[in-house]
Amino acid sequence: MSTPTNQTSPIAVGLIGECMVELQRQADGGMRQGFGGDTLNTAIYLNRLCRREGVAIDYLTAVGDDPLSQAMRARWREDGVGDGRVRVLMDRLPGLYMIQTDAQGERSFLYWRGESAARHCFDGPGADELLAALGDYHTLYLSGISLAILTVEGRERLLEALCQARSRGTRIVFDNNYRPRLWPDAAEARRHHEALLGMVDIALVTWEDDVAVFGFAPPEQLFSHYAGLGVGEVVVKRGARSCLLHTADGRAEVSAETVEQVVDTTAAGDAFSAAYLAARLRGGEPEVAARWGHRLAGSVIQHPGALMPLAAMPSMPALR
């Protein structure tokens, strides 16, 4: 990934999305409170891999002015993620979700996010400054969830701002995370995914999610469709199976790493995306980046929760 002309060192990366309050039921019936979100997980892992490489990570969202929102932002800063461009909405609160685990260890989620601050991040004249600032970034990263949670107004304004940012040289990276409950139907999701994909440089695609949105059968259909939309680099994530790459140099398949014991698959896809992007930002070729994606995802699933201990992180060497 080359550095755009509008960007000077350090490389600035902005991740757009929603962080929520997390409640997890404990064995004694109590609740453990934390924070979580797909793009936030990616932001934290990206910072861990790039913090000594001249890459600055910002999280771009909206929060309230309540104690939980303030604690949330403090936690991001502790994890090395900047909050200087977070929009504060005085009459809003963060969304919330609760994790429940059944007797077999399977996790399920209950969400309360309909009126969260992040949903209104790009609404109204108060969003103008944040939208204009998107063009200041070397790279912007967002997911299908980032798109889905927004109001109709906010989504259209974000897409317009991303188009303007890309015209200034900003690179756009999209992880297609699809949550059917957040869209009226798959057709609506498909329409907005395609609008965004027309300006995406790297697409990090979870195969099952893409099948649900587009109905593709073989991966060749996906690659052909994305190429027609102008996406130059496509990575198809397939869980424990190999991932598939389609770039200007052709197609490749990169095997996943063998994991002896899977403890918790939470955030595996987010971690893969973080490591892939980190490797590309640091000069690694797509196949090298895919191997790092598998390596970090394989490490994450051997630990409970979305964020593995910092001490257990694999160390990414110089890749240039």
CA distances from 70 to 62, 75, 262, 279 (A): 12, 9, 34, 32
Residues 6+ apart with CB under 8 A from 225: 214, 216
Sorted by where each begins, the domain ranges of the chain are 11-312
User: Which residue from 162, 92, 100 is spatially nearest to 131, judged by alpha carbons?
Assistant: 162
* Nearest Cα to Cα of residue 34 among 120, 98, 79, 108: 98
Question: Quick check: 98 and 24 in contact, CB under 8 A?
Answer: yes
Fold held by 11-312: UDP-N-acetylmuramoyl-L-alanine:D-glutamate ligase (3.40.1190)
pLDDT truncated to tens, each residue of the chain (320 aa)? 644 334 445 899 999 999 999 887 777 778 888 898 999 999 999 999 998 888 999 999 999 999 999 999 999 999 999 999 999 999 899 999 887 766 544 667 888 888 899 999 999 999 999 999 999 999 999 999 999 999 999 999 999 999 999 999 999 999 999 999 999 999 999 999 999 999 999 999 999 999 999 999 899 999 999 999 999 999 999 999 999 999 999 999 999 988 888 888 888 999 999 999 999 999 999 999 999 999 999 999 888 888 889 989 988 887 76
**Pairing state of beta strands 62-63 and 87-88?**
parallel
38 is catalytic: no
Query: Which tokens in the block code for residue 229?
Result: 């939309």
Structure tokens at 214: 């587009």
Q: State the virtual CA torsion across 133, 74, 179, 98 in degrees, nearest 10.
A: -160
